[in-house]
A and B are shown apart, each in its own frame.
Chain A
Amino acid sequence: MSKQNLLQKIIEGALMVSHEPLTLQEIANLFDDNKPSKNEIKQIVDKLNESYKGNAFEIVLVASGYRLQVRPGYDQWLLKLNKQSSTRYSKAFLETLVIIAYKQPVTRGDIEDIRGVSVNPQIIRNMIEFEWIKVVGHKESPGKPELLATTKKFLDYFNLKSLSDLPPPSELNTQ
């Protein structure tokens, strides 16, 4: 097997077994000597994706790195395998999440001002538990409220590379 071919197989295998996305650095660190350059790895990923054409899966780049996943469009069948976890979120949950994502860093007070209702503490707790948001600091105002921001895991979950990939707000209808 040629060296290039072996490299390709190792990277493919690593992406297959890893439960978390792998960064270019993490992939390079698989090798003790003759570490491939980041550019080389990118080329290999492209090559692998090229070879996956016609397969159900592909390598995608999300915020935390590369991961191998099933292409969209098979959820109708594959969801039947996924018995326990629910992927539906309440409107309150989603609204709170977008405000944190688009306006970060924000305090609970900021969220309440926009939504006009008090923040459900359970929702914030869940998001922190999912590691979708974290406390990034405290605002210099009375009570030193926590400043909340989203994490890479949040982006990973929604298949996004960065916050700039979030859908843009629609033009305000000022007719």
Chain B
Amino acid sequence: MLENNFDITLNGKEITDIPEDLFIPPDALRVILEQFEGPLDLLLYLIKKQNIDIIDIPILPITTQYVNYINMMQQMQFELASDYLVMASTLAEIKSKMLVPNDIEDEEEEDPRANLIKRLMEYQKYKELSEKLDVIPRRNRDTFVISGIMTNFNKTDNLPKIKLDQLEAAFQDVLKRAEIYASHTIESETLSVRERMSSILININKNGTIKFTDCFTYSEGRMGAIVTFLAILEMVKESLIDIIQNEDFSIIYLQTKTS
């Protein structure tokens, strides 16, 4: 702290007071001034340095000292918070009030310092509390929390349990789906119903009557059979041909429509 005792001996003689004209390097002074947490902090320091009680704050010398500090700060172009200037004016106000004799002896008249003293005491209280808080054992400085490794637990907890056959079933599913996709690819129609209708009609017209079974070509496979069957149904529907069967389970004939 600032009020450290200086144990300096010079020529065997202990020096307790810093000489008034002692040169303080500007940078060092800056460091000193930066330590204050505001005008109240600076005032408390000045009061403490004189070893006096806040209650009996001698306003005249304190004000002079305070203004001196502020002047120093300004000379060094120390960025001076407006709060410091407000306090300077407050001190000047109190000083003037105390200098002007009070004609009316009023018992109720408040000591002009009262408000400042109250504020200083309030600030001092919290300043001390902050120092106390600073030494309370705190996490990661004085005490260390044990937080074991949870990751191992997480792994076993979070992973679903899978049996081999489930995995296999899933794989089969994927394969099946792939198959479905494959057969869903759209291809242009290779066999047209309309085209088949025409070819059958030509055949009927040429031969008069043809067997139902002769309309089908094995090499065309299932698709061909369906196309042919649809073509025949379509022609019946459009009344282009007749279908004849003499008795049950006998041969079915197709022939041109007899109107």
Chain B residue with the shortest CB-CB distance to A19:
B147
B130 CB within 8 Å of chain A = yes
A17 and B123: CB pair below 8 A? no
B149 CB within 8 Å of chain A = yes
Taking the nearest CB of chain A, how far is it from the CB of B143, in angstroms? 5
The digit string for B67-84, where 1 denotes a CB below 8 A from any CB of A, is 000000000000001010
CA distance A169 to B153 in the complex (A): 46
CA distance A74 to B141 in the complex (A): 9
The digit string for A145-171, where 1 denotes a CB below 8 A from any CB of B, is 000000000001111100000110110
Partner of A97, one of B54, B130, B131, B137: B130
Known: A17-B147, A82-B140, A160-B136. A98 touches B40 (CB 8 A): no
A10 CB within 8 Å of chain B = no
CA distance A111 to B119 in the complex (A): 12
Q: Which residues of B contact A67 (CB under 8 A)?
A: 145-146
A101 CB within 8 Å of chain B = yes
Q: Which residues of B contact A116 (CB under 8 A)?
A: 38-41, 83, 87, 119, 123
Contacting A at CB under 8 A, from B12-61, are 37-41, 53-55
Q: Which residues of B contact A169 (CB under 8 A)?
A: 125, 128-129
A95 and B126: CB pair below 8 A? yes
CA distance A161 to B157 in the complex (A): 33
Q: Which residues of A contact B195 (CB under 8 A)?
A: none
B129 and A102: CB pair below 8 A? yes
The digit string for A87-100, where 1 denotes a CB below 8 A from any CB of B, is 10101101101110
Q: Which residues of A contact B143 (CB under 8 A)?
A: 60, 69-72, 159
Known: A17-B148, A69-B144. A167 touches B136 (CB 8 A): yes
Chain B residue with the shortest CB-CB distance to A92:
B37
Taking the nearest CB of chain A, how far is it from the CB of B196, in angstroms? 71
* B: contact size bracket: 35 or more
Q: Which residues of B contact A159 (CB under 8 A)?
A: 136-139, 142-143
The digit string for A44-73, where 1 denotes a CB below 8 A from any CB of B, is 000000000000010010000001111110
A167 and B83: CB pair below 8 A? no
Taking the nearest CB of chain A, how far is it from the CB of B78, in angstroms? 15
Known: A16-B146, A19-B147, A67-B145. A98 touches B129 (CB 8 A): yes
The digit string for A75-92, where 1 denotes a CB below 8 A from any CB of B, is 100110010010101011
A17 and B133: CB pair below 8 A? no
B146 and A70: CB pair below 8 A? yes
Known: A16-B146, A117-B83, A173-B53. A87 touches B138 (CB 8 A): yes
Q: Which residues of A contact B136 (CB under 8 A)?
A: 158-160, 167
12 A–B contacts from the bound complex (CB under 8 Å):
A16-B147, A18-B147, A67-B145, A71-B143, A85-B140, A98-B126, A115-B37, A116-B38, A116-B39, A116-B41, A158-B133, A159-B136
Additional A-B contacts beyond A94-B130, A116-B38 (17; CB < 8 A) = A17-B147, A18-B147, A68-B145, A69-B146, A72-B137, A75-B141, A82-B140, A91-B130, A94-B133, A102-B129, A114-B123, A116-B40, A116-B119, A117-B38, A158-B138, A159-B136, A166-B129
Residues of A within 8 A of B (CB): 15-19, 57, 60, 67-72, 74-75, 78-79, 82, 85, 87, 89, 91-92, 94-95, 97-99, 101-102, 113-118, 156-160, 166-167, 169-170, 172-175
Complex A-B, nearest 7 residue pairs according to Cβ-Cβ distance, in ascending order: A117-B38, A87-B141, A94-B130, A116-B40, A167-B132, A16-B148, A70-B144
